[in-house]
Amino acid sequence: MSPAAVVFDFFGTLTPSTPAHVWDDHAARSAAPLGIPAPAWRAILNDSFSERATGVLGDLAATFLALARRHGVDPGEEALTAACAARAASQRELFVLRDDVIPTLSALRERGSRVGVLSDCTVELVDAWPGLALAELVDARVFSCEEGPHAREDDWPGPFLPALTDVLALVEA
């Protein structure tokens, strides 16, 4: 008997884990157009993860503008656009799926199981989602950056329960 539904985390489950040196390289790419030293930008990105993963800073451009200003840089539109483009391209490299993901999700669907994805993520995944090969195989998705601040509170499972309504409905479908 196949399960009614299977819910996957995106990063590190559907994708390979990302080593620290890759994060460093990706931070350097988006730091350069802003004129911010790569290690400082990496620290800013790390320190702001909760804000970015709950969407409180807005879209990628608004987020990068706010973060650059925290570092004392007020980038022009061209620099901000270039930094956002570098970040989006870098993030897309992290969205490469493990080799067995599409066959696994397809097999689950063929057996009648519904598929959900739950991820603690930033807006870059949301923006890229429609173009990802697995998107059409997923019945419901919950991304923390779309759910707001309650999605990262410490009283698990409470924070994600409202967001999980669609995913949990898979089991009842």
Boundaries of domain holding 45: 20-94
- Rounded Cα distance, 146 and 123, in Å: 8
- Rounded Cα distance, 134 and 137, in Å: 5
Together in a domain, 109 and 142: yes
Together in a domain, 113 and 131: yes
Together in a domain, 102 and 155: yes
Together in a domain, 10 and 24: no
Q: Which of 94, 117, 143 is at the close of a domain?
A: 94
Span 110-117, average pLDDT: 91
Q: Which of 94, 127, 149 is at the close of a domain?
A: 94
- Quote the pLDDT of residue 146: 87
- Domain harbouring 166, CATH code: 3.40.50.1000
Amino acid at 58: G
Together in a domain, 156 and 125: yes
Q: What is the pLDDT of residues 96-113, one digit of tens each?
A: 999 999 999 999 999 999
Total domains, the chain? 2
Three-state SS letters, 57-101: CCCHHHHHHHHHHHCCCCCCHHHHHHHHHHHHHHHHHHCCCCCCH
The partner residues of 115 in beta bridges, in order of sequence, read 6
The partner residues of 7 in beta bridges, in order of sequence, read 116
Q: What is the pLDDT of residues 135-171, one digit of tens each?
A: 999 988 888 888 776 555 555 455 555 556 666 665 5
